[in-house]
Amino acid sequence: MKPLARLAAFAVAAIFSLGSASADEIRLAAQPIPCYAPIFVAKKKGWLEEELAKVGAHPTIQLVTFAAGPPINESFAAGQQDFGFLGDTPAIIGKSVGLETSLIGKSSVGPKSLAVVVATNSPLASPADLKGKKVAVTKGSYAHHLLALVLQQGGLGFSDIELINLPNGDIPGALIAGSIDAGAVWEPIITKFEAQKAVRVLADGTGIKTGVLALIASTDFVKKKPEQTQALLRAYARGAAWIKSNPQEAAELVTADVNLQPDLLVKVFAKFDYSPALTDQDVAELKKSAAFMKEVGIIKTAVDIDAFADRGVAKAARLD
């Protein structure tokens, strides 16, 4: 079964699912990468529990990590999550197939956190040089959209390259082996392999894609427990602020959670704005992503981003 069809089946099945959180539990789903570092900081610091206690709630916090966004969607569809930290693309895909989720904020944004890279010794010097080349990307990821925009910079389209679908983590090895010519990837791949002098950036998101990553919540949870939803967003914002003020200490605190050594993690932190409140620019970016996904057939049903984005949570939490 194709991923979209499988997720749609999960979404339908979830209507009849009995899987739900107990009254004293909040379930969080994230990926173990730096894009979502503030949630790991907030968990380690006890700020999730602290902010929830301020509104009279004392739930157990369950934070589970997934390898990618699609299985987070499937977990939501099965009624197993309350909040999710994932890419804009899987968040929009989930909404397009009927998941009852709300976009309550962003996990991070950073145009230099996603890029088209080539091997260090590659002769490719500009987007136009990608014509006729083997270029890898994780199809359906937010890097897929970046690749389309980079190709446009070179006067090219997907028909001008040989597009290879690879997991993000497999792209550097394929570049080093010479089996592909370029790849669209995201952090921490970029910083990790630049440090090894194995890859260099051909083009990143600067000026073309800000790289908004999503913070979604069960719409039912948001409606029934608005104060707890706001508390979680405040805890995330505390994590974001602490990373900005204490990058080295933060890197040492969550190095194991995001699978990157502290010295490189500090460099990655500098590429991100982790402030969770959605801005007008963020919403505009998400609309462009959704339009691209509909255009290339990643989603079949258009998503109304204005309706999906619940900016009232951040406002009520006094974060906007």
Distances (CA, A) of 248 to 236, 270, 302: 18, 11, 42
Inform me whether the pLDDT recorded for 184 exceeds 80.
yes
Q: Cβ of 59: how many Cβ atoms within 10 Å?
A: 19
Q: Kindly indicate the confidence band of residue 9, based on its pLDDT and cuts at 50, 70 and 90.
A: low
Tokens found for residue 280: 């007008």
What is the separation of C-alpha 315 from the centre of its chain, rounded to a whole number of angstroms? 22
Q: Kindly indicate the confidence band of residue 14, based on its pLDDT and cuts at 50, 70 and 90.
A: very low
Shared fold status for 3-109+211-316 and 111-204? yes
Lowest mean pLDDT among 4-18, 68-82, 100-114, 303-317: 4-18
> What integer pLDDT is reported at residue 7 of this predicted model?
56
Give which of 107, 109, 104 is closest to 311, Cα–Cα: 104
> What integer pLDDT is reported at residue 134 of this predicted model?
98
- Kindly report the three-state secondary structure assignment for every residue of the chain: CCHHHHHHHHHHHHHCCCCCCCCCEEEEEECCCHHHHHHHHHHHHCHHHHHHHHCCCCCEEEEEECCCHHHHHHHHHCCCCCEEEEEHHHHHHHHHCCCCEEEEEEEEECHHHEEEEEECCCCCCCHHHHCCCEEEECCCCHHHHHHHHHHHHCCCCHHHCEEEECCHHHHHHHHHHCCCCEEEEECCHHHHHHHCCCEEEEEECCCCCCCCEEEEEEHHHHHHCHHHHHHHHHHHHHHHHHHHHCHHHHHHHHHHHHCCCHHHHHHHHCCCECCCCCCHHHHHHHHHHHHHHHHCCCCCCCCCHHHHECCHHHHHCCCC
- Rounded distance between C-alpha atoms, residue 245 and residue 180, angstroms: 40
Query: Can you give the residue ranges of every domain in the chain?
Result: 3-109+211-316, 111-204
- Rounded distance between C-alpha atoms, residue 216 and residue 222, angstroms: 10
Tokens found for residue 171: 């792209």
Supply φ then ψ for residue 239, to 5 degrees.
-60, -40
Residue 289 φ/ψ region, left for φ over 0, alpha for ψ in the -120 to 50 degree band, beta for the rest: alpha
Q: Kindly indicate the confidence band of residue 320, based on its pLDDT and cuts at 50, 70 and 90.
A: confident
**Between 245 and 68, residue with greater pLDDT:** 245
Please tell us whether the domain made up of 111-204 is placed in CATH 3.40.190.10: yes
Inform me whether the pLDDT recorded for 168 exceeds 70.
yes
- Rounded distance between C-alpha atoms, residue 123 and residue 181, angstroms: 10
Report the CATH architecture of 3-109+211-316.
Answer: 3-Layer(aba) Sandwich (3.40)
Q: Kindly indicate the confidence band of residue 2, based on its pLDDT and cuts at 50, 70 and 90.
A: low
- Rounded distance between C-alpha atoms, residue 243 and residue 255, angstroms: 12
> What integer pLDDT is reported at residue 21 of this predicted model?
52
User: Whats the size of the chain, residue-wise?
Assistant: 320
